[in-house]
Every structure is written in structure tokens, then in C-alpha cells.
């Protein structure tokens, strides 16, 4: 279903960022709901456009009267004549064509066009939101993976220390307290590893929900994670924010403006042409009892005025709605700009944190290497070596987290400025 999806073992799903985003977009119920909303707006527009077409109406009636009125005539041969007929049949067909409506139809169409454009922009914005959430979930899973690997590496180091202490104890160079210290450190790291595995499982569940993986498979992210580079920040600018929420506001303003035009159209009359055909028994023949028919055509002018100035007040209300939508857009622009600028500062901070953690990790790794050599030579206590191992583990975890945290912060910045890179991977 998804091109490029890596082969997987039973119960395992392997995919990169782009594949994860594509899968999340297909699964998202919110996107599907937004698609239905767009389809609804499309049909509303077609319904409004259909107002330009003629209207054909048909009315058919039949009924029976047990008694009809009659009139006495002074003519000997026709002493009494009935008015109407006991058996009545009537069919009327009428075609009505709007000629002038004062702009009501056009304003209604334009309003629904703006509503459709707003729904389409909302669908696009929803896609960006799902892509952002999916990438964030992937990065959280990467962080959890890194912490599990760090805990596993720490456990392996503790096992080496335990074995060394056991050998030293057998040679009389370490006491029972050293054995207990190494065993306590081993149990502590085992607990930390189990905790990190649980956190990793929870992160995988969150991502699986976004991807629609209800059978809880093992998710393996295959995305290559390049080393963060400060130069990549030059490619992201907060000067031109391309968020589709702004397009939603623009179309809401348009819809409000067309709503004002629609209210103004009430000042004008409506003119329509009509034509019809009528057939029935007795139809227009008041004294006959036969079928007859006729055609008719004409114009219909309707012009009404509300003495309480309803139209003027409706126009004023619509005008205030336009002002309100414009202020809402300005508020949104300021809010989005603040989000983008804040996200940019967070990315810069995340990069500096990564550089510092990289140096700290290198220093701690060298300290542990030297400490291990000293401890094996009997020049350092086991307790001090365990402290160095804890320090190494902490800096290793910070280094792993800071690398992914950089991309997590960058992901927020990409979402804040409306970048299309949300739908791709980490390749530069």
C-alpha cells in the first residue's frame, strides 16, 4: 500500500518518516471528516448555483362535490344551470425564470465559494497538523529507542565491572562491600532499563494509533538521523509564514463581505418571467362540464420594504461581522508569528544543547576509560568507578536525547512556518 515500505518480520513494521506520515494521513479520521466537510461545501455551492436556473412546478388536483350551486334562468329550455362540476380535474404546469434578484443569487454563490475555499484550506491545514503529530510521535519513539540503547550499554558496562570486582575479590584485592556496590548498581541499571523499555512501548503505542496499527506491532523506524548542522537554520525563515489557517481566515472575511452584499440586495426588487399551461375539467369554464386548456405567460415583480429598516440593520450587522473577521486574522497573524519566532529560538537552543552534550559525552567516555584502567590497576575504588559509569550513562542519554530533541524542535518550527518539509524525512 505504501511505496518503499521496508520488508518486516512477523509482528514488526519497518518504515521511515515519509512512509509514517503517508500512512498517518491515510488513516486519520479528522482528515476524512474534513474531506466530507469539503464535499458538503461543494454541494452547497452547486445548490446555490442552481438558483440561476428556471424552476418548473407541477400541480395536479382531483376531487368530487356531492352538490354544486345552480342558477335559475328565465329561458324555458334551460330552466336551471349548474355552476361548476361535481367531478373536478385540474393540472397546472408553470415555468419560472429569475431575471433580476438584486444580486441575491450572485452573493449567495460567492458566499458558498468562499466557504468551500475555507473548507479546502482547513483540510490542508489538518493534513499539516497530522503530519506534525506523526513526526513528533516518531521523534519521541526515537528518543525512547536511544534511552533504551543507553540503558543497555550501561548494563553491559556494569556487568563488566561486576566481573572485574568478582575476580579482584577472588584474588583478595576487593572486599565484600565492593561486591555489594557492584550488585546494587547492576540492579539499579536493570530497573532503569525496564523503565525505559516501558516508556518505549508507550511511545510505540502512541505512534501506532496515529498509523492505524491496531494489532500493536513492533515499530522499527529506519530513518537515517544526520548530525544536526547549524547551517540548516538558514533555510527556515519566519518572515513568510505559509500556514493554511491564514487562508481559512481570508475566506471567512470574503464570506462575511459577500454576506453584506446579500443583505444589501434586499433593497432591490425581484423580477421573474413565467409561463404556464393549464388543463382541466371544468377549468375556466364555469358553466360547462368538458375538458379545456390554455397557456399563459407574464412577468412577476416583487418589491417589499420593512418599515423598521430591517435591511439597513442587517447590513450593519454584516459589516460588523467583516470587521470581526479581519481582527481575528490580525490576532492569528500575531499568534503564528510569535509561535514561529519562539520555535526558531528553541531550535537554536536545541542545537547548542546538542553541541554541549556531545562534548560532555566525549569527556565522560574518556574519564570512564581512564577510570576503568585505574580500577583494574588497583588505583581507584569500585565506588568511584561506579560514579564515573553513572556520569557516562547520564551524558550518553543526554547526548542521544539532545540529537533527537533538535529535530523535534525543528519539526515544531516547520509546522509553525507551514513548511512542506513536514511531509518528508530528515534528508537535506
323-338 confidence digits (pLDDT tens): 999 999 999 999 999 9
What CA–CA distance (Å, rounded) separates 107 from 422? Answer: 37
- What does pLDDT average to over the chain? 88
Q: At what angle do helices 17-27 and 104-170 cross, to 10 degrees?
A: 130
Q: Please name which of 302, 303, 280 lies closest in space to residue 293, comparing C-alpha atoms.
A: 280
Residue 319 lies in a domain: yes
Of the candidate ranges 179-183, 246-250, 298-302, the one whose mean pLDDT is the lowest: 179-183
What CA–CA distance (Å, rounded) separates 79 from 7? Answer: 102
pLDDT at position 237 over 80: no
How many other CB atoms are found less than 10 A from the CB of residue 161? 23
**Grid cell at residue 284:** 375556466
Residue 335 lies in a domain: yes
Tell me if residue 96 falls in helix, strand or coil.
Answer: strand
pTM: predicted TM-score of the whole model, two decimal places: 0.84
Q: Is 107 exposed, middle or buried (0-12, 13-18, 19+ CB in 10 A)?
A: buried
What is the band of 6 on the pLDDT scale with cuts at 50, 70, 90? very low
What is the band of 166 on the pLDDT scale with cuts at 50, 70, 90? confident
What is the band of 380 on the pLDDT scale with cuts at 50, 70, 90? confident
Residue 410 lies in a domain: yes
pLDDT at position 319 over 90: yes
CA 340 to chain centre: 19
Strands 78-82 and 70-75, how do they pair?
antiparallel
pLDDT at position 168 over 60: yes
Residue 60 lies in a domain: no
- Count of domains for the chain: 1
Residue 328 lies in a domain: yes
Q: Please name which of 222, 151, 141 lies closest in space to residue 189, comparing C-alpha atoms.
A: 151
Whole-angstrom CA distances from 341 to 41, 151, 334, 411 are 35, 35, 11, 14
DSSP calls for 205-264: HHHHHHHT-TT-PEEEE----PPP-GGGGGG--SSS---HHHHHHHHHHHHHHHHHHHHH
Residue 5 lies in a domain: no
Q: Which residues of 263-298 are buried (b: 16+ CB within 10 A; e: fewer)?
A: bbbbeeebbbebebebebbbbeeeeeeeeeeeeeee
Residue 4 lies in a domain: no
Per-residue pLDDT, 224: 87
Cβ-Cβ contacts under 8 Å for 147 (sequence gap 6 or more): 196, 199, 200, 397, 400, 401
Residue 183 lies in a domain: yes
Strands 292-302 and 270-281, how do they pair?
antiparallel
**Grid cell at residue 240:** 513568510
Q: Which domain holds residue 216?
A: 23-53+101-268+303-417
pLDDT at position 278 over 70: yes
Q: Please name which of 248, 148, 123, 269 lies closest in space to residue 202, comparing C-alpha atoms.
A: 148
Question: Which CATH number belongs to the domain containing residue 215 in this structure?
Answer: 1.20.1600.10
What is the band of 281 on the pLDDT scale with cuts at 50, 70, 90? confident
In DSSP terms, 91 is beta-bridged to: 60, 279
Per-residue pLDDT, 376: 81
Give the tens place of pLDDT for each residue, 340-370.
999 999 999 999 999 999 999 999 999 989 9
Per-residue pLDDT, 53: 94
pLDDT at position 200 over 60: yes
Amino acid at each position: 500500500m505504501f511505496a518503499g515500505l521496508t520488508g518486516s518480520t512477523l509482528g514488526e513494521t519497518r518504515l521511515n518518516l515519509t512512509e509514517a506520515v503517508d500512512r498517518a494521513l491515510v488513516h486519520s479520521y479528522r482528515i476524512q471528516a474534513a474531506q466530507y466537510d469539503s464535499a458538503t461545501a461543494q454541494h452547497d455551492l452547486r445548490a446555490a448555483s442552481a438558483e440561476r436556473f428556471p424552476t418548473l412546478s407541477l400541480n395536479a388536483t382531483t376531487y368530487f362535490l356531492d352538490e354544486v350551486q345552480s342558477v335559475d334562468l328565465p329561458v324555458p329550455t334551460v330552466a336551471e344551470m349548474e355552476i361548476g362540476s361535481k367531478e373536478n380535474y385540474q393540472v397546472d404546469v408553470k415555468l419560472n425564470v429569475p431575471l433580476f434578484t438584486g444580486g441575491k443569487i450572485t452573493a449567495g454563490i460567492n458566499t458558498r465559494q468562499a466557504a468551500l475555499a475555507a473548507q479546502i484550506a482547513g483540510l490542508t491545514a489538518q493534513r499539516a497538523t497530522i503530519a506534525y503529530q506523526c513526526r513528533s510521535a516518531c521523534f519521541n519513539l526515537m528518543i525512547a529507542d536511544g534511552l533504551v540503547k543507553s540503558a543497555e550499554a550501561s548494563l553491559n558496562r556494569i556487568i563488566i565491572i561486576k566481573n572485574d570486582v568478582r575476580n579482584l575479590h577472588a584474588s583478595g584485592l576487593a572486599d565484600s562491600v565492593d561486591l555489594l556496590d557492584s550488585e546494587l548498581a547492576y540492579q539499579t541499571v536493570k530497573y532503569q532499563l525496564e523503565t525505559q523499555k516501558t516508556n518505549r512501548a508507550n511511545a510505540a503505542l502512541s505512534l501506532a494509533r496515529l498509523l492505524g496499527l491496531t494489532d500493536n506491532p513492533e515499530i522499527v523506524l529506519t530513518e537515517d538521523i544526520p548530525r544536526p548542522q547549524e547551517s540548516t537554520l538558514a533555510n527556515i525563515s519566519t518572515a513568510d509564514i505559509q500556514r493554511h489557517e491564514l487562508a481559512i481566515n481570508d475566506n471567512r472575511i470574503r464570506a462575511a463581505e459577500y454576506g453584506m452584499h446579500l443583505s444589501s440586495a434586499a433593497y432591490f426588487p425581484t423580477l421573474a418571467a413565467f409561463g404556464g399551461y393549464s388543463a382541466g375539467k371544468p377549468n375556466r369554464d364555469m358553466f360547462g362540464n368538458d375538458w379545456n386548456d390554455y397557456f399563459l405567460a407574464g412577468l412577476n415583480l416583487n418589491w417589499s420594504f420593512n418599515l423598521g429598516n430591517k435591511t439597513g440593520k442587517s447590513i450593519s450587522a454584516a459589516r460588523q461581522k467583516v470587521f470581526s473577521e479581519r481582527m481575528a486574522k490580525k490576532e492569528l497573524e500575531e499568534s503564528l508569528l510569535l509561535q514561529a519566532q519562539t520555535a526558531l529560538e528553541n531550535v537554536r537552543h536545541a542545537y547548542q544543547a546538542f553541541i554541549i552534550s556531545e562534548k560532555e559525552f566525549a569527556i565522560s567516555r574518556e574519564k570512564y576509560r581512564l577510570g576503568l584502567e585505574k580500577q583494574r590497576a588497583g588505583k581507584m575504588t569500585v565506588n568511584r568507578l561506579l560514579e564515573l559509569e553513572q556520569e557516562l550513562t547520564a551524558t550518553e542519554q543526554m547526548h542521544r536525547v539532545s540529537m533527537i530533541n533538535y529535530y523535534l524542535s525543528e519539526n515544531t518550527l516547520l509546522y509553525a512556518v507551514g513548511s512542506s518539509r513536514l511531509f518528508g524525512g530528515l534528508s537535506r
